[in-house]
Amino acid sequence: MNLARVFLPARQPGPQDGVVDEHLVAASDETPWAEIADVVVGTDAAGPAAARVRALLIRHPGCLVAVAPDTGGGCVVGERHGRVRRFATGDPATLGSVVHAWVRAGLPFDALDGVPPGAVVTRAAPAPQAVGVPGRRAATGDRRRSPAPG
C-alpha cells in the first residue's frame, strides 16, 4: 500500500499548469488497505484480465480504478463507470494511478493511451499518524509495541 501523487501536464497552453492528484493504491490482497484504496491492483492471475478488473470493481466499491496484469503482457485498467481498456505496456500500479488522475480531472477515458509525456508518478508509504483520545495515550497506526509504562 502506498500513497501516489500524479502530476499530469496541461494538455493545452493556458492558465492551468496541469493536474495534481493524490490517492491510495493497494494490492487486492492487502487487507484492510484494499477496502479503502482509490486504486486496487489485482494479484490473482486466474482468468481474463478484463473479467478480473470487473470483479475487483465489484468487490471494492470504494475504488475508482482497478487494474490487473494481462497474461499476454501489459495490463487492463477499468474505472468505476464500467469503461475498461487494455494497455500494451506499463507498470500496472503506475497506469492505475495515471488513469485515476485522468478520470478525476474529467479527461476523456478513451483519449488516454498510456502514461502521457511529462507525467510524473511518485509513491511513498504513509507515515503512521497519531490518534489522540482525551485522557488516554495517543495511538498510532504503527504496529510496533511500545514499552510498558514504568
For residues 116-145, average pLDDT: 64
pLDDT band of residue 15 (cuts 50, 70, 90) is: low
User: Which neighbouring-strand residues pair with 1?
Assistant: none
Q: So what's the pLDDT on residue 134?
A: 58
Per-residue burial over 96-108, b if 16 or more Cβ lie within 10 Å, else e, is bbbbbbbbbeebe
Q: How far apart are CA 105 and CA 47, in angstroms?
A: 31
For the ranges 46-50, 79-83, 128-132, the lowest mean pLDDT is seen at 128-132
Q: What is the CA radius of gyration of the chain?
A: 18
Q: How many CB atoms lie within 10 A of CB 32?
A: 9
Structural domain boundaries in the chain: 2-7+22-124
| Predicted model pTM | 0.78
CB 109 within 8 A of CB 101: no
> Residue length, the chain?
150
Name the pairing type of β-strands 75-79 and 139-140. Answer: unpaired
Q: How far apart are CA 69 and CA 129, in angstroms?
A: 32
